[in-house]
Structures are given as structure tokens and as C-alpha cells.
Amino acid sequence: MKSLIVYASQSGNTRKLATAVYDSLEGEKELCAIDQAPSGDLAYDLVAVGFWLQAGKPDPKTEAFLKACRTTAKMFFFATHGAAKGSDHARGAMEYAVSLVNGATVIGTYSCQGEVNPKVLEKIKQKDAPPPWLHEADDAVGHPDDQDIAELKAALKKAL
């Protein structure tokens, strides 16, 4: 199987998940940051895309990549966020990401909390209307952890 793993990561959380996906896959595989990702028609059997959430959606670079992506490959999405795992915020963002795909089949998704940079948290706390997930961000410290990685690998295995 020929696989491409693409990720966007600000703090290393999503990169950690992307590396776990890469290590889990057999066959020919590529791992690259979203800035170095191939564009246009992607000739792969699997394209795994990892991203972080911003304003309830995939980060802007990933959103642009998904909108421009042309492939008939199977796709698997994974994400990190400050919100609680399984929250409406996380589910809605993943549903939005899936809606951006044109021509591919999304075979699975996974998301988990990722530790939010303290400087980012301080900036967010200063907003007039802080995001609804802010109170959940303290629980994200130390994530993704070994349990998150194990759950990601299980979700990928099940999807394949």
C-alpha cells in the first residue's frame, strides 16, 4: 500500500500523532508537513491528514489542502485540540473536515486533546468572548499521551 501522511502542527501535538500513523503503516509511505505536501492529483492508496483546530475547523493550511486535494484514495483524518475528547467542538470540526473532501472516501477519523501552549491560552483568556472549550484546556496538559497514541493506532487499524 502506498501511503501519504500529511500534518499541520504548531506545538508538536499533531506531529506526534502523524509519526505514530507513519510507524503503524506498512509498505511505501511518506510523512510530510502540510507546507511540503504534494498538491493536485494524489496517487496514493491512503492519504492520512492530521491537523489542529482553530475556531471549530481544521487549521487554515489544512483546510486549503483539503479543498484543493484531488484523489480517489482512501482518507483518514486525525486531529488534536484543546477541547474535551468527543466534545461537540471536536466532532463538528471533524465533520466539517470530511465535508471538504472531493472524490475521496474518508474511512475513519480520530481526535484527542493536545496540550495548548500556555502563551496561546493567556491570549485566548483575554478575548471578550473566550471559546467554550477554554475550561477544558487544563485537562489537555500532557496530551497526546501513550493512551491517545494507542487509541489512534486502533482507530487506524479498524479503518483499514
Min mean pLDDT across 88-92, 97-101, 102-106, 119-123 is at 119-123
112 pLDDT tier (thresholds 50, 70, 90): very high
Report pLDDT for 154.
98
Predicted TM-score of the model (pTM): 0.92
Question: What tens digit of pLDDT does each residue of 17-40 get?
Answer: 999 999 999 999 999 999 999 987
Report pLDDT for 107.
98
Report pLDDT for 41.
79
Look at residue 42 and tell me whether its pLDDT is greater than 90.
no
Report pLDDT for 135.
67
Strands 57-58 and 3-7: unpaired
Angle at 4 between CA 60 and CA 26, to 5 degrees: 145
Q: What is the CATH number of domain 3-159?
A: 3.40.50.360
Instruction: Please spell the DSSP secondary structure of the chain, one letter per residue.
Output: --EEEEE--SSSHHHHHHHHHHHH--SSEEEEEGGG---SB---SEEEEEEEEETTEE-HHHHHHHHH-B--SEEEEEEEESSPTT-HHHHHHHHHHHHT--S-EEEEEEEEE-PPPHHHHHHHHTSSS--TTGGGGGGGTT-S-HHHHHHHHHHHHHH-
Domain chopping of the chain, boundaries: 3-159
Look at residue 111 and tell me whether its pLDDT is greater than 90.
yes
